Structure 1
Amino acid sequence: MSIRWPRVLTPTHLSQIIRSQKNPLTALRIFNEAKEKYPSYRHNGPVYATMIDILGNSGRMSEMKDVIDQMREDSCECKDSVFVRVIKTFASAGMVNDAVKMFKSIPKFNCVHWTESFNTLLEIMVKDSNLESAHRLFVKHSCGWGVKSRVQSLNLLMDALCQCKQSDLALNIFQEMDFQGCYPNRDSYRILMKGLCQDGRLNEAIHLLYSMFWRISHKGSGGDIVIYRTLLYALCDNGKVEEAVEILGKILRKGLKAPKRCCHQLDLSQCSNGEDIEATKRLINEALIRGGIPSMASYSAMAVDLYDEGRIDEAEKVLDNMRHKGFWPSLSIYEAKVAALSREGRVSEAVKVIEEDMKEGNCVPTIRLYNTVLKGLCDAGSSVLAVGYLKKMAKQVGCVANKETYGILVDGLCRDGKFLEASRVLEEMLIKSYWPCAKTYSILISGLCSMGRQYEAVMWLEEMVSQGMLPDLSIWNSLVVSACCKMSNTDVRYELFTRLSVHSSS
């Protein structure tokens, strides 16, 4: 396919040209031809990033590596975000070793800082439970000048250790932070407090709370209440209700800087009997909310934390109290609520959040929020209903369906056996220049064959091949079986076996 080259080529123009190509190999050919046609032209970082993304999204790892090598040889300035995407691409393809090699080679590129790449790779290793490799990576690279901050990486390591029930080691890391030249942030305290409480190390957790009073909470931030709640809940669960009430008083005075009049108004006597632990916890929640100076931060932190833990009813009470005080829920609260309802299979209530609650609160849903609802609908077998939200999203300013949106809908429709509807959504997806993976094509083609829709299946096969993807054996088997079941369709059969011959010869 020939293109119309401009009189003067800029990297921005070339990015637009290659992004509009359906076949990633065609885009790569145009990318390489640019230097030949324009001797004075030179690729910059953004156009390299565009080409790398195109090849990575289409699974062309070999070609992507070649472009990365070319970027290194050109020594053009590139951003850390390019390597973040490459590392994630390698990891999602099961090529973790290549992701590690990519990170280690970053100093050879014209990239000033690579903190985010470092944290991305560390997080991947932690999720794969490869703690030894993560530790070696941290020790070797965390002190380099390319890594600007180590707090996030140390938090990742602490979180991994806490999940492995090794909060004692996480505590050692926490205590070494000062010697590492960095200081614990609120996430550091949150992660460690949760780990210590889960392991029953309540004495260490209490000491952690006291250190937090003078380091983090000296201004009485409302966002700290989730950390306080973790300790207080753990004390209650371990039968130490009286100690929890005593510490709650210190939290109100020293942590939340509650005015004396608020402390006097709180009746904590009902907490002391310890007969109903859940009721005591609810009273603690109320005390933390009412005891401090009401703020958006405190309400938001408490509500999001409760939704994340699946304590939906308690979170709803926080929202009621919040509205009563004149605060309206933030976007983060709605996102946490929708996610919690979707996990519980309460999809109709999640839909109501977007349809009614957010409208009442003058809050505009984001694409991330819509995707959560759509996934919930598809998981509940309501993929056709989910498709209807595409039109609603199109009418909403600033909310554009992305690749994840279409992927959720196509996969959901295919799971529900709605292959013709999936074809229509996939057509819209391609119009928006979002390219699905080979697996999506395979599922759709096989599904259409099972319905006896060989013509549509062959059309999608053509589209798949035009994008440089090689159909696997299951697709050809589905097409052969479908064609054999409908032998009267001579045209389809002839076209199918022609393509089979071409495929086998290649």
Structure 2
Amino acid sequence: MASTSTVRWPRVLTPSHMVQLIKQQKNPLSALHLFNAATLLYPSSVYSHTSSVYSAIIDSLSSSPTATHHLPSLLRRMSLSSSPARDASFSRAILSLSRSGHHHLSLSLLRLLPSSNCPRWPLSLHAALKSLLARDEFLTAHRLLDKMPHRTPLTLPSLNLLMDSLCRIDRPDLALQIFAEIGHHCCYPDRDSYRILMRGLCNAGMLNDAIHLLYSMLWRVSQKGCEADVTVYRTLLESLCRDGRVRDAEEVLGKVLLKGLRSPGRRRAFRKPDLEGLDAEEMRRRISEALVVGGVRSLKSYAAMVVDLYGEGRIYDADKMFDEMVGKGFQPTVPMYEAKVEGLCREGKVGDATRVVEVEMKERGCVPRVRTYELVMEAFCKEGKSRRAVEWLERMERQVGCVARKETFEILVDGLLMEGLFSEAASVLERMARRKYWPGEEMYSRVIEGLCTVGRRYEALLWLEEMASQGKVPGVRIWRLLVPSVCLDHDQAEIISCLDHITDEWVENPNSIAE
């Protein structure tokens, strides 16, 4: 662990300098040590921690599951400081504690907020609700909202999250009650609100309520055309057709096209689409075409429908609408191409996905993003072609403005490890470390275990040392695998020296040593 004597402290310490010192530490506990030492080395009249410094140390501690137990005490100190606490800092801490299994500590942080110096906390409340609802703890979430003070800010994302969770457990009737109360929270329902509730009502067979919901939505789009709302309409129309209510589907589609999607000058020549006598697949195709082509054409409406179709695996219908959109003069966007690439990769057509990136996007002047390359790399890894994925990493980094992220390297390392290419996985992990991206304990352990199995024990020992420098501890399995193999190839003095060095890295963190 870094000591204060090894750090070059400036004569005058500023918050920005302190933030840089924290970010330079690989070990979160070293960063916490410097954070605590700063207030001892400098008088309060010269330096005090600001909200940006607290945010930096919270990010550092949140990156390691073994260091998250320091977050509650740190946030209590932040809530008593003179500078206002940031809601984003509390929300990140709540999510980190939940991911590491400290659920009771995350809830205690939320209960601390009303008496803290944080003026508003919608992000923190959303993080706590997301954690509880992900574990289906609806009663706990209900009690939490009941006990919070009346000025608790319930935002639209939190309300949408509650509705989505209730629809997942087939309780759209309760989701309807929340939808009716959105206005009481000074919010306005957005497209996600209607989409979540429409899908929940249709899945539960409450089609009459879904029809009423759609009619209440029509007035919002009567002046501007449908744009991306076509996906909400399509959910109801296809559900009516599956239920055998074709006449109702025709009636609803006619009203949607006439009221919501048609410009006033074209209403006189309007004819209601006929769905009677068609099979299920043809009805779905006719509905999709009518919603986009029969209404006011726009890039948003095409994009919403194309992305939805690719997401459902309907590649043929999506390609047909995609080509029609291009023929009408609309320029495809990067998210549309990413949806196409993801859909093709999901169907196992990685070759077609690569042609989309290499040929189609280039011909239409559309520049791929990092996420575009990650989709292709992930598909190659799933097919057992991780070396091809590494080649795509090289291609991506040659493109100006495309910089590999931590998630990019993790996709490649995981794919190489799955194929048993441990040496190449270690090489990618080394490139990742040079970028200051630190993987988790599990990935380090897998690389060390793989290097031991192929006889590269010295390199495995170096990664163990790097792991220790970051305050991460391998499991008992790694120790059992590594120590006997090292003992066979090294003398006793060298082994003791190496283990003493690794132990010194953890001496300041005895609670994290594996039992």
Do the structures match in fold with TM over 0.5?
yes
Cα distance between partner residues in 1 of 2:146 and 2:233: 32
Matched with 1:224 is: 229
Q: How many Å apart are 1:494 and its aligned residue?
A: 5.7
* Structure 2 residue 58 is matched with structure 1 residue 55: no
Cα distance between partner residues in 1 of 2:163 and 2:32: 42
Report if the CA contact (8 A) 2:79-2:85 is conserved: no
TM-align CA RMSD: 2.5
Amino acid of the residue matched to residue 328 of structure 1? Answer: Q
Report if the CA contact (8 A) 1:479-1:496 is conserved: no
Amino acid of the residue matched to residue 76 of structure 2? Answer: D
Q: How many Å apart are 1:62 and its aligned residue?
A: 2.8
Once the two structures are superposed, residues 82-106 of structure 1 have per-residue CA deviations (whole angstroms, 9 ceiling, x without a partner) of: 1221112112112222221122212
* Structure 2 residue 189 is matched with structure 1 residue 184: yes
Matched with 2:490 is: 490
1:148-159 alignment, distance < 5 Å: 149-159=154-164
Cα distance between partner residues in 1 of 2:185 and 2:60: 39
Amino acid of the residue matched to residue 113 of structure 2? Answer: I
1:43-442 alignment, distance < 5 Å: 43-59=49-65, 60-141=67-148, 144-145=150-151, 147=153, 149-215=154-220, 217-258=222-263, 261=266, 264=269, 268-269=273-274, 271-274=275-278, 276-442=279-445
Report if the CA contact (8 A) 1:259-1:292 is conserved: no
Residues 177 and 146 of structure 1: CA distance in aligned 2, closer, same or farther (over 3 Å): closer
Cα distance between partner residues in 1 of 2:260 and 2:53: 50
Cα distance between partner residues in 1 of 2:357 and 2:152: 43
Matched with 2:510 is: none
SS in 2 for 1:74: coil
Cα distance between partner residues in 2 of 1:44 and 1:426: 34
Amino acid of the residue matched to residue 316 of structure 1? Answer: D
Report if the CA contact (8 A) 2:15-2:53 is conserved: yes
Q: Which moved more, 1:377-386 or 1:346-355?
A: 346-355
Report if the CA contact (8 A) 2:129-2:158 is conserved: yes
Cα distance between partner residues in 2 of 1:101 and 1:358: 49
Residues 410 and 75 of structure 1: CA distance in aligned 2, closer, same or farther (over 3 Å): farther
Matched with 1:28 is: 32
Report if the CA contact (8 A) 1:374-1:408 is conserved: yes
Gaps of 5+ in 2: 508-515
Cα distance between partner residues in 2 of 1:293 and 1:37: 67
Cα distance between partner residues in 2 of 1:496 and 1:430: 26
Cα distance between partner residues in 1 of 2:151 and 2:256: 39
Cα distance between partner residues in 2 of 1:251 and 1:267: 10
Amino acid of the residue matched to residue 127 of structure 1? Answer: A
Report if the CA contact (8 A) 1:252-1:258 is conserved: no
Q: How many Å apart are 1:219 and its aligned residue?
A: 3.4
Amino acid of the residue matched to residue 180 of structure 2? Answer: Q
Gaps of 5+ in 1: none
Cα distance between partner residues in 2 of 1:179 and 1:462: 56
Alignment TM-score, normalising by the size of structure 1: 0.91
Residues 349 and 94 of structure 1: CA distance in aligned 2, closer, same or farther (over 3 Å): farther
Cα distance between partner residues in 1 of 2:248 and 2:268: 17
Q: How many Å apart are 1:107 and its aligned residue?
A: 2.9
Report if the CA contact (8 A) 2:226-2:295 is conserved: no
Once the two structures are superposed, residues 237-281 of structure 1 have per-residue CA deviations (whole angstroms, 9 ceiling, x without a partner) of: 111223212221111110112456488487834x2213x111111
Residues 158 and 90 of structure 1: CA distance in aligned 2, closer, same or farther (over 3 Å): same
